[in-house]
Structure 1
Amino acid sequence: MIIDKVAWVRLDDGTVLSTRSRGKDVYYLPGGKREPGETDLDTLVREIREELSVDIVAATARHLGTFHAPAHGHPDGVTVQMTCYTADYRGDLRADHEIEEIVRLTFADRDHVSPVDRVIFDFLSRAGLLR
């Protein structure tokens, strides 16, 4: 089984924006699961508005990569496919809905993120984008 997700990778000064949902013990890149009929961009815009109360500037969205890893908190054999985009945004970041905490992470925080986010952190570090 594959869980199809879309995520926002917001990099600033060698850090990446991340979130922690209520009751969770790891950080996740903001984003979420696609609803029926949604494109990647539709999902990205909706999820970021729901979680962080900001609007993604759709014209600035750029595909960063698609990453795979075992799904955190799911049985063996369940994989997450995370399609990642960078994009500018409008508004002030504010935790909303299930999001309890917004943080900026570096590669040193790799052990505190979900398995698919570890793969993304490795990619960002190799590319010189994450300190």
Structure 2
Amino acid sequence: MVKVIETANWILRDGAKILSVRSNGRDRFYLPGGKIDPGETARDAIMREINEELGVDLVPETIRELGTFAGQGHKQPDGAIVRMTCFVADYRGTLSPAREIAELRWLTPRERNLMAPMGQKITAALFDI
């Protein structure tokens, strides 16, 4: 049986750079966001996760779903699929790593190799067209 991990993730660009985060103890950067809790919508999850991880509030009326991407999760057992629902949104506040986030970084397309494989795929699909 295939294990599917449902996540909600935020795509935030500054020109060609994309906001990425690295969790404590991890070697790769990820798109900010996280697992969708039972009974929670992807939209609710992205608002909660971004507040918890980066200390900012997404502006509800600007939240727009970009699409859902699925693939093998980084450091997940074989056969575990991560299904990432990605959103864009404006935010209020000052971005600052919190909770399990050790570092945030604006990665350029040349630095994409620092991201987990799904992040590399998603940013390539969205920004290299």
Normalized against structure 1, the TM-score is what? 0.93
Displacement of 1:5 in angstroms is 0.4
Contact 2:7 2:34 in 1 (8 A): yes
State the SS of the aligned residue for 2:112.
Answer: helix
Q: Does 1:103 align with 2:97?
A: no
Give the whole-Å Cα distance in 2 for the aligned partners of 1:75 and 1:99.
22
Alignment partner of 2:24 out of 8, 22, 25: 22
Contact 1:41 1:58 in 2 (8 A): no
Give the whole-Å Cα distance in 2 for the aligned partners of 1:54 and 1:105.
19
**Count of residues in Structure 1 that have an aligned counterpart in Structure 2:** 127
Give the whole-Å Cα distance in 1 for the aligned partners of 2:39 and 2:5.
16
Q: Percent identity among equivalent residues?
A: 46
Q: Write the deviation string for residues 41-79 of structure 1: whole angstroms up to 9, x where unpaired.
A: 110000000000000011101111111121111111111
| Structure 2 residue identity aligned to 1:96 | A
Normalized against structure 2, the TM-score is what? 0.95
Give the whole-Å Cα distance in 1 for the aligned partners of 2:95 and 2:127.
24
Give the whole-Å Cα distance in 2 for the aligned partners of 1:8 and 1:117.
11
Alignment partner of 1:35 out of 34, 37, 41: 37
Equivalence for 1:67? 69
Equivalence for 1:11? 13
Give the whole-Å Cα distance in 1 for the aligned partners of 2:67 and 2:58.
18
Equivalence for 2:50? 48
| Structure 1 residue identity aligned to 2:10 | W
| Structure 1 residue identity aligned to 2:128 | R
Contact 2:16 2:109 in 1 (8 A): no
Equivalence for 1:115? 117
- Consecutive unaligned residues of structure 2, counting only runs of 5 or more, are none
| Structure 2 residue identity aligned to 1:74 | Q
- Consecutive unaligned residues of structure 1, counting only runs of 5 or more, are none
